[in-house]
Structure 1
Amino acid sequence: MSSEHTVFQTFLGALEGAGSVLLTCFAGYIVARRGLLDHSTVKQVSKLCTTLFLPCLLIVQMGPELSVSSLSRYWIIPLWGLISTAIAHLIGWAGQRLLHLKHWTIIACGRPNSNALPLLLLQSLESTGVLSQLSDDGDLKRVLNRAKSLLLLNAIVQQVITFQLAPSVLRLDDGQHKSDAGPGTLRPGPGRILPVAQDEERVGLLDDSEDQEEADGINGRGALQPIQDMPDYRWPRHLEFAKKPLLTVWTYMSPPLIGAIIALIFGLIPPLRETFLDEDGTMFPAITQSVKNLGELFVVLQTFTVGAELALVPSSSPGVLQTVWVLSIRFLVMPALSVLFVFLTAGKGWYVDDRLVWFLLVLIPAGPSAMLLVNVAELVDIDQGPIAGCLTIAYLLSPLMALVCSIGLAVVDAKS
Structure 2
Amino acid sequence: MSGSTNSSGMLLSTFSGAFQGSISVLLTLLAGYVMARRGYLNHQTVRNVSKLCTTLFLPCLIIEEMGPELTARKLSIVWIIPLWGLVSTLFAHAIGYLGKRVMKLPYWTVVACGRPNSNALPLLLLQSLEHTGVLDTLSQDGESVSKTLDRAKSLILLNAIVQQTFTFQLAPTIMARDDGQKHDEDPESQGRLRPGPGRLTSVVQDSERVGLLHDNDYDGSEGSDETRAGESAYTRAVDDIADKPDIHWPERIKFLEKPLKKTCNSISPVLLGAIIALIIGITPPLHQAVLDEDGALYSSITQSIVNLGELFVVLQTFTVGAELAIVRSSHPGVLATSWVLFVRFIIMPAIALLFVWGTAGRGLYVDDKLVWFLLVLIPAGPSAMLLVSVAEIVDINQGAIAGYLTIAYLISPLMAVVCSLGLSVVTSAAERIS
Same fold (TM > 0.5): yes
Alignment partner, residue 30 of structure 1 = 34
Q: Please report the RMSD computed on the Cα atoms of aligned residues, expressed in angstroms.
A: 2.6
Deviations 1:328-350 (A, max 9, x none): 00111101101111111111111
| Residue equivalent to 2:144 | 139
**Superposition deviation, residue 402 in structure 1:** 0.8
Kindly state the Cα deviation for residue 242 of structure 1 after the two structures are TM-superposed: 3.9
**1:152 pairs with 2:167:** no
Moved more, 171-180 or 103-112: 171-180
Change (3 A) 1:281 1:257: same
State how far apart, in whole Å, the 1-side matches of 2:151 and 2:81 are.
Answer: 12
1:274 correspondence with 2:279: no
Judge conservation of contact 1:274–1:281 (CA < 8 Å) in 2: yes
Alignment-mate amino acid for residue 337 of structure 2: T
Q: Which residue of 2 aligns with 1:72?
A: 76
In structure 2, the CA distance between the partners of 1:71 and 1:186, relative to structure 1 (3 Å rule), is: farther
SS at match of 2:177: coil
Q: Which residue among 362, 365, 368 is the counterpart of 1:348?
A: 362
Q: How far is the alpha carbon of 1:20 from its aligned partner?
A: 1.3
Tell me the amino acid that sits aligned with residue 324 of structure 1: S
Residue 180 in structure 1 maps to residue 221 in structure 2: no
Pairing 1:291-370 to 2, within 5 Å after superposition: 291-370=305-384
Structure 2: give runs of 5+ residues left out of the alignment: 184-188, 202-231, 239-243
Q: Which moved more, 1:3-12 or 1:316-325?
A: 3-12
Partner secondary structure for residue 367 of structure 2: coil
SS of equivalent to 1:102 = coil
Letter in 1 for 2:385: M
Q: TM-score, normalised by structure 2?
A: 0.83
CA contact (8 A) 1:14 1:130 kept: no
Q: Secondary structure at the match of 1:348?
A: coil
328-337 or 240-249: bigger deviation:
240-249
Distance in 1 of aligned mates of 2:374 and 2:191:
42
Cα offset, 1:35, TM superposition: 1.9
| Corresponding residue to 1:169 among 146, 171, 174 | 174
Following superposition, the deviation at residue 181 of structure 1 comes to 6.3
Matches for 1:105-124 after TM superposition, within 5 Å: 105-124=109-128
Cα drift, residue 73 of structure 1: 0.5
Alignment correspondent of 2:409: 395
Q: Normalising by structure 1, what TM-score?
A: 0.86
User: How far does the alpha carbon of each residue in 1:29-69 deviate from its partner, in whole angstroms, 9 at most, with x for none?
Assistant: 12212222221111111111111111111111111100000
Give the Cα–Cα distance (whole angstroms) in 2 for the partners of residues 278 and 51 of structure 1. Answer: 25
Distance 2:233 2:400 in 1: 26
- Kept after mapping to 2: 8 A contact 1:112/1:367: yes
Identity over the aligned pairs, expressed in percent? Answer: 60
Deviation at 1:359, TM superposition (A): 0.5
AA matched with 2:379:
P
Question: Residue 128 of structure 1: CA displacement?
Answer: 2.3
Shift of 1:165: 1.1
Q: Which has the larger radius of gyration?
A: 2
The Cα shift of 1:366 comes to 0.7
1:331-384 residue CA offsets vs partner (Å, 9 max, x unmatched): 111011011111111111111111110011000001111111111212222211
User: Does 2:426 correspond to 1:412?
Assistant: yes
**Are the equivalent residues in 1 in contact too, given 2:14–2:129 (CA < 8 A)?**
no
Report the equivalent of 2:222.
Answer: none
2:95 alignment partner, one of 79, 91, 100? 91
CA distance, structure 1, for counterparts of residue 195 and residue 40 of structure 2: 36
Please tell me whether the aligned partners of residues 164 and 270 of structure 2 are also in contact (alpha carbons under 8 angstroms). Answer: no
Paired residue secondary structure (2:332): coil
1:319 partner letter: G
Distance (whole Å) between structure 1 residues aligned to residue 191 and residue 73 of structure 2? 51
Structure 1 gap ranges (5+): 189-211, 219-228
Amino acid at match of 1:334: M
Paired position in structure 2 for 1:82: 86
Is 2:59–2:273's contact at 8 Å kept on the other side of the alignment? yes
Match of 1:373 among 349, 362, 387: 387
Paired residue for 2:249, among 213, 226, 234? Answer: 234
Aligned length: 382
Query: Which of 327-336 and 167-176 deviates more?
Result: 167-176
From the superposition, tell whether residues 216 and 155 of structure 1 become closer, same or farther in structure 2 (CA, over 3 Å).
farther
Change (3 A) 1:391 1:132: same
